[in-house]
Amino acid sequence: MKTLKLGIADDHELFRKGFISMLSSVPDFEFILEAANGQELLDRLPGHTPDIVFMDLQMPVMDGIQATEAAFERFPNIKVIVVSMYNEDRFVIHMLEKGVQGYLLKDTSPDEVEKAIRRVDEEGFYYNDFVSKAMHRKMVTRQINKHPFFPNACNVALSSREKEVLQLICDGLSTTEISDKLFISVRTVEGHRLRVLEKTGTKSTAAAVAFAYKNQLL
């Protein structure tokens, strides 16, 4: 069985220790790194690089936003799931644009946290209803304001199938589930996803979805 290496950056020790304890009971999860702020996380990453890092947003010394940007720059293969008490849409959308693979609130159930870890490991992203609704509300706001977020958004043209695949990703379906629903191969689904990344100029599925919603492509 593959062991998933995990890390967490959170300045509240009680939450951090409890979070680690909760997930350490899962046989194939192993926490190899914990940090009390973003700078401490970056200092420890070179010797202990996890597959997935859980990132708080508000921390002393260096916050989660800065730490996420630096982690992605220095360790391109690392995946980040935000775990925060901030439920405002602006935080969700901003972090998706930064390329994080998921966004969870601190009252998320243990079962959903485990689900998020496995989905991020297998699919590269995890969107629950909370994230999907935040993106939808942002899309509605942009339609009202008629103001595209990216100046080159008008040059992006997704095919009907690419939009269909992207919408199903937003709805939380895995690659296999999309394949079954659309009666196409997993390889074809992955091909559509990669073309969406190329057309939108984004580096992750999360960022591509945020781009599409904010620019009314879905």
pLDDT in tens, the chain (218 residues): 789 999 999 999 999 999 999 999 999 999 999 999 999 999 999 989 999 999 999 999 999 999 999 999 999 999 999 999 999 998 998 898 888 999 999 999 999 999 999 999 988 889 888 888 887 776 655 543 444 444 455 567 889 999 899 888 878 788 899 999 999 999 999 999 899 888 888 877 777 877 777 777 76
State which CATH number among 1.10.3720.10, 3.10.20.30, 3.30.420.40, 3.40.50.2300 fits the domain covering 4-141. Answer: 3.40.50.2300
Q: Are 80 and 68 in contact (CB under 8 A)?
A: yes
pTM for this entry: 0.78
Q: Give the C-alpha distances (Å, rounded to integers) separating 194 from 162, 185, 205.
A: 10, 14, 9
Q: Where in the chain is the domain with CATH 3.40.50.2300?
A: 4-141
Backbone torsions φ then ψ of 211, nearest 5 degrees: -60, -45
Best CATH choice for the domain 160-215 from the list 3.50.50.60, 1.10.10.10, 3.40.50.2300, 1.10.8.60: 1.10.10.10
Cβ 209 vs Cβ 132: under 8 Å: no
* pLDDT confidence of residue 16: 97
